[in-house]
């Protein structure tokens, strides 16, 4: 196999306002013909800059200062720009992360693909039209001859990404660079797109450089894997070698920080990597990972490690492997005596791995038995949130978007209920509806037996301290113009929260007491008290999320609604936050309503799961019931669509077709029937009633015996 792309010693720098950032620092990799090479790493490691350097599409402030990028032996960096233009889109194509932003909204799909054909093949008129149709058929756009003349907004997210792929394929490239091609998509759509890419590669035999932060996607797609850290490659291996036996401490930690059921079963904390990716503006002396590595010793801080070859194609840049393989064991023994946890190479067996981070954490048992009290803290009954669709001059209501349409759920004291579903199914709206942040169209919410719906603003304000909210995006959830101390104190001031124990002191020196409380809160989320004098922009994403958690905790809540709190974070940071949430639940007895689309987080954290589809809960039950034996076809498909790191998986894959329908106009009968593989005539007519499988496990599906009373109930509603 010959190499399509050969990057050697690539160095790219960014001239930012303040300093010089070495975004890519001496990167070497090759992509073979017909092979998928996955470039893995956390955000800020220089993955995208590598891709842009290959395309020579760096931003104005970027500059390639060294190395070579060879496409079939031809150095792209030496070509003049005019020649480069005939290479982009023809021999190298690129797919971007955000399909909504990478298509021109005022050009039809055919025009956009036609541009490529005209530039590179000089195809026009009927010939071009025919070719466009052919390409669109290839990427699985139904009814291509009609739809090719539509505009991008008429397509759904998944379809738009198919369009992007179609555009990329129009030039029949030798190399396809896919920069996080599925990150913005839902799991079921992601599965479709990944499948398409795999099919196309087999047919066309092109090389794919897949850039991703998702280990699961890499495990499903890649032939070979490269781990990038702080601008340089730290490990390359074939997929099998890498996932069986990752060598670099960073890779091992990355894999260990993935949440999952197995880890929870054994009451394990996730192996969080402390700290963050170092800023690339720094000068590095030793190993770049040394500061975050618990196996680092003196040499790591002083000398940058070179490449060490393990078995076959497995290379790693770490001092642990620099000697021959025999001495590696000694090396680790030596470290064990130095107090660092050797963490061994036991990850291949996965299940019997020892608790990570033993040195600085207490092992907390998270087995379900240890959780006490099943009293119901919050119950929502038949929750409905409709958004009116207004039209015309007088803005009369012509219909409703039924964002949430009859959702019932209960959360026990100190329990975690996970609400799972694709984007647009109404998860977040449920969370806000429960907190009374948006007006409900119907239903009731009872907190400790007290009805919240229709409560007047003043009395509701008093109750506000009982339930709090953590948001998805740590960048927009903190006011950039306020100091941390003001952010945390805001809730305390608004709700007059005081520690009962210190109530007498509080009368004298309320400010001092408050400051102490802020310090204590920051410490409880793992930040130094000095942090309170700083502004949000001085913190990283993970730290900001900690601050957001501290803000919520400041008013001593019993229930926290977590709205995708980790989906904007890197895997290693996600592990830190999940550990923190777990710890807080144990110490403070918090209940969580955990809204997420990430099933592995659910497996790790939740006690109960409710699966939502188009404004309704289709299945709920305890975490084991739902995730191990899902009953509803949607839940089954959702489970199957998640990319997993199992090398010899023989799982049955259910591919869902199509996208989530619009909640403004949901399908009649069971909402899921247009995509359901088991659809029956009755599904198209009446929404199915509850089917119980155990006291806790229920689903709405005609595949199972129906409970008549609830069916009648639902019918009367409709």
Q: How far is the CB of 220 from other proteins (least distance, A)?
A: 26
Pick 467 or 634: Cβ nearer other proteins: 467
**Which distant-in-sequence residues (6+ apart) come within 8 Å of 554 by Cβ?**
488, 489, 491, 492, 497, 517, 518, 521
Q: Is 652 in the site for other proteins (CB under 8 A)?
A: no
- Among residues 78, 398, 450, 494, the one that binds other proteins under rule CB under 8 A: 494
Query: What pairs with residue 16 in β-bridges?
Result: none
Q: How far is the CB of 469 from other proteins (least distance, A)?
A: 5
Q: Is 17 in the site for other proteins (CB under 8 A)?
A: yes
Q: Is 548 in the site for other proteins (CB under 8 A)?
A: yes
Place of tokens 């990319």: 643
Q: Is 243 in the site for other proteins (CB under 8 A)?
A: no
Give yes or no for a contact between 620 and 610, defined as CB atoms under 8 angstroms apart.
yes
Give yes or no for a contact between 706 and 691, defined as CB atoms under 8 angstroms apart.
yes
Q: Is the dihedral of CA 487, 558, 269, 565 positive or negative?
A: negative
Q: Which of residues 443-472 bind other proteins (CB under 8 A)?
A: 460-462, 464-465, 467-469, 471-472
314-353 footprint of other proteins as x/- string (CB under 8 A): -x--------------------------------------
Give yes or no for a contact between 95 and 181, defined as CB atoms under 8 angstroms apart.
yes
Q: Is 60 in the site for other proteins (CB under 8 A)?
A: yes
CA 165 vs. chain centroid, Å, equals 22
Q: How far apart are CA 674 and CA 85, in angstroms?
A: 44
Give yes or no for a contact between 155 and 208, defined as CB atoms under 8 angstroms apart.
no
- The string of DSSP letters for 60-103 reads TTEEEEEEEEEETTEEGGGS-HHHHHHHBTTTEEEE-S-HHHHS
Q: Is 9 in the site for other proteins (CB under 8 A)?
A: yes
Q: How far is the CB of 584 from other proteins (least distance, A)?
A: 18
The strand pair at 591-596 and 416-420 is best described as parallel
Phi, psi of 284, rounded to the nearest 5 degrees:
-100, 135
What DSSP state is assigned to residue 25?
A: E
- The string of DSSP letters for 133-181 reads HHHHHHTT-TTHHHHTTS-GGGS-HHHHHHHHHHHHHHT--SEEEEEST
Pick 66 or 529: Cβ nearer other proteins: 66
Q: How far is the CB of 77 from other proteins (least distance, A)?
A: 14
Give yes or no for a contact between 92 and 177, defined as CB atoms under 8 angstroms apart.
yes
Three-state secondary structure call for residue 224: strand
The strand pair at 232-238 and 608-613 is best described as unpaired
- Among residues 78, 83, 285, 309, the one that binds other proteins under rule CB under 8 A: 309
- Among residues 48, 112, 212, 477, the one that binds other proteins under rule CB under 8 A: 477
Q: Is 537 in the site for other proteins (CB under 8 A)?
A: yes
Q: Is 307 in the site for other proteins (CB under 8 A)?
A: yes
Stretches 85-93, 302-310, 441-449, 676-684: which one binds other proteins (CB under 8 A)? Answer: 302-310
- Among residues 299, 344, 397, 437, the one that binds other proteins under rule CB under 8 A: 437
Q: Encoding tokens for residue 530?
A: 């000095």
Q: Is 498 in the site for other proteins (CB under 8 A)?
A: no
- Among residues 2, 57, 65, 450, the one that binds other proteins under rule CB under 8 A: 65
Consecutive H or E run containing 702: none
Stretches 96-104, 180-188, 361-369, 479-487: which one binds other proteins (CB under 8 A)? Answer: 479-487
Q: How far is the CB of 567 from other proteins (least distance, A)?
A: 13
- Among residues 177, 378, 478, 641, the one that binds other proteins under rule CB under 8 A: 478
Place of tokens 């998860």: 427
Q: How far apart are CA 502 and CA 507, in angstroms?
A: 9
- Among residues 305, 412, 426, 621, the one that binds other proteins under rule CB under 8 A: 305
Give yes or no for a contact between 181 and 167, defined as CB atoms under 8 angstroms apart.
no
- Among residues 167, 435, 605, 637, the one that binds other proteins under rule CB under 8 A: 435
Q: Is 491 in the site for other proteins (CB under 8 A)?
A: yes
Q: How far apart are CA 292 and CA 678, in angstroms?
A: 49
Stretches 88-96, 375-383, 397-405, 477-485: which one binds other proteins (CB under 8 A)? Answer: 477-485
Stretches 207-215, 550-558, 641-649, 674-682: which one binds other proteins (CB under 8 A)? Answer: 550-558
Q: Is 16 in the site for other proteins (CB under 8 A)?
A: yes
Q: How far is the CB of 244 from other proteins (least distance, A)?
A: 22
Q: How far apart are CA 474 and CA 488, in angstroms?
A: 14
- The string of DSSP letters for 292-332 reads G-TT--HHHHHS----EE-STT-EE--GGGSS-THHHHHHH
Q: Which of residues 25-44 bind other proteins (CB under 8 A)?
A: 25-26, 28-30
Three-state secondary structure call for residue 455: coil
Q: Is 278 in the site for other proteins (CB under 8 A)?
A: no
Pick 152 or 491: Cβ nearer other proteins: 491
Pick 132 or 559: Cβ nearer other proteins: 559
Place of tokens 């064990």: 336
Q: Is 81 in the site for other proteins (CB under 8 A)?
A: no
Number of residues binding to other proteins, judged by CB under 8 A: 57
Phi, psi of 564, rounded to the nearest 5 degrees:
45, 55
Pick 298 or 333: Cβ nearer other proteins: 298
Q: Encoding tokens for residue 540?
A: 């990283």
Q: Encoding tokens for residue 98?
A: 């955000």
Q: How far apart are CA 564 and CA 546, in angstroms?
A: 14
Stretches 4-12, 150-158, 447-455, 675-683: which one binds other proteins (CB under 8 A)? Answer: 4-12
Pick 79 or 460: Cβ nearer other proteins: 460
- Among residues 38, 258, 411, 555, the one that binds other proteins under rule CB under 8 A: 555
Stretches 15-23, 48-56, 334-342, 600-608: which one binds other proteins (CB under 8 A)? Answer: 15-23
- Among residues 306, 449, 528, 681, the one that binds other proteins under rule CB under 8 A: 306
Q: How far is the CB of 681 from other proteins (least distance, A)?
A: 43
Q: Encoding tokens for residue 363?
A: 């092992």
How would you class 82 by CB atoms within 10 Å of its CB: exposed for 0-12, middle for 13-18, buried for 19 or more? Answer: exposed
Q: Which residues bind other proteins (CB under 8 A)?
A: 8-9, 11, 13, 15-17, 22, 25-26, 28-30, 59-61, 65-67, 304-307, 309, 315, 432, 435, 437, 460-462, 464-465, 467-469, 471-473, 476-482, 487, 490-491, 494-495, 535, 537, 548, 551-552, 555
């Amino acid at each position: 196999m010959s190499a399509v792309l050969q990057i050697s010693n690539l160095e790219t720098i960014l001239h930012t306002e303040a300093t010089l950032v070495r975004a890519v620092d001496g990167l070497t990799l090759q992509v073979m013909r017909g092979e998928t090479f996955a470039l893995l790493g956390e955000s800020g490691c220089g993955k995208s800059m590598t891709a842009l350097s290959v395309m020579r599409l760096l931003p104005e402030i970027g500059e390639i200062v060294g190395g070579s990028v060879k496409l079939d032996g031809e150095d792209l960096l030496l070509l003049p720009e005019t020649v480069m233009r005939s290479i982009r889109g023809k021999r190298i194509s690129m797919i971007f992360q955000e399909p909504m932003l990478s298509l021109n909204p005022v050009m039809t799909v055919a025009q956009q693909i036609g541009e490529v054909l005209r530039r590179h093949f000089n195809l026009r008129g009927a010939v071009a039209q025919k070719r466009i149709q052919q390409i669109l058929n290839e990427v699985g756009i139904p009814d291509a001859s009609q739809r090719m003349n539509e505009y991008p907004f008429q397509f759904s997210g998944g379809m738009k990404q198919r369009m992007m792929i179609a555009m990329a394929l129009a030039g029949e490239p030798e190399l396809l660079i896919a920069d996080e091609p599925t990150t913005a998509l839902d799991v079921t759509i992601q599965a479709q797109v990944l499948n398409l890419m795999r099919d196309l590669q087999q047919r066309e035999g092109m090389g794919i450089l897949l850039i991703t932060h998702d280990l699961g996607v890499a495990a499903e797609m890649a032939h070979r894997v490269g781990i990038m850290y702080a601008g340089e490659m730290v490990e390359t291996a074939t997929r099998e070698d890498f996932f069986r036996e990752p060598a670099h401490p960073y890779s091992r930690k990355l894999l260990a920080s993935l949440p999952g059921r197995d880890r929870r079963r054994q009451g394990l904390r996730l192996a969080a990597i402390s700290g963050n990716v170092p800023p690339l503006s720094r000068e590095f002396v030793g190993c770049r990972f040394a500061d975050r590595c618990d196996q680092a010793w003196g040499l790591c801080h002083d000398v940058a490690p070179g490449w060490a070859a393990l078995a076959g194609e497995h290379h790693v840049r770490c001092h642990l492997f620099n000697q021959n393989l025999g001495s590696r064991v000694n090396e680790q023994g030596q470290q064990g005596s130095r107090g660092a946890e050797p963490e061994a190479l036991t990850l291949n067996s996965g299940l019997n791995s020892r608790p990570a981070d033993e040195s600085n954490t207490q092992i907390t048992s998270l087995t379900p038995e240890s959780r006490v009290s099943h009293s119901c803290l919050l119950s929502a009954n038949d929750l409905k949130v409709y958004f009116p669709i207004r039209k015309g001059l007088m803005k009369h209501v012509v219909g409703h978007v039924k964002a949430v349409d009859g959702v019932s759920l209960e959360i026990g004291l100190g329990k975690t209920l996970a609400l799972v579903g694709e984007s647009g199914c109404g998860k977040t709206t449920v969370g806000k509806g429960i907190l009374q942040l948006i007006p409900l169209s119907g239903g009731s919410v009872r907190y400790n037996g007290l009805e919240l719906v229709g409560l007047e603003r003043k009395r509701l304000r008093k109750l506000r301290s009982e339930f709090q909210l953590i948001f998805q995006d740590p960048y927009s959830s903190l006011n950039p113009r306020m100091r941390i101390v003001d952010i945390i104190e805001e809730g305390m001031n608004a709700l007059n929260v005081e520690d009962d124990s210190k109530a007498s002191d509080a009368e004298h020196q309320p400010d001092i007491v408050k400051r102490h409380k802020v310090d204590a809160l920051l410490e409880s989320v793992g930040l130094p008290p000095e942090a309170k004098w700083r502004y949000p922009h001085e913190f990283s994403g993970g730290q900001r999320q900690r601050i957001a958690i501290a803000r919520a905790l400041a008013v001593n809540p019993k229930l926290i609604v977590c709205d995708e709190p980790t989906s904007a974070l890197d895997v290693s940071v996600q592990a830190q936050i999940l550990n923190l949430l777990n710890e807080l639940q144990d110490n403070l007895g918090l209940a969580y309503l955990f809204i997420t689309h990430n099933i592995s987080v659910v497996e790790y954290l939740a006690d109960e799961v409710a699966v939502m589809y188009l404004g309704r809960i289709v299945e709920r039950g305890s975490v084991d019931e739902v995730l191990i034996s899902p009953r509803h076809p949607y839940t089954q498909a959702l489970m199957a669509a998640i990319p997993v790191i199992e090398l010899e998986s023989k799982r049955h894959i259910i591919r869902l077709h199509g996208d989530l329908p619009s909640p403004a106009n949901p399908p009649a009968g069971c909402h899921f029937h247009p995509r359901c593989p088991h659809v029956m005539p009755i599904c198209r007519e009446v929404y199915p009633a509850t089917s119980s499988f155990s006291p806790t496990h229920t689903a709405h599906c005609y595949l199972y015996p129906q409970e008549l009373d609830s069916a009648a109930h639902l019918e009367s509603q409709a």
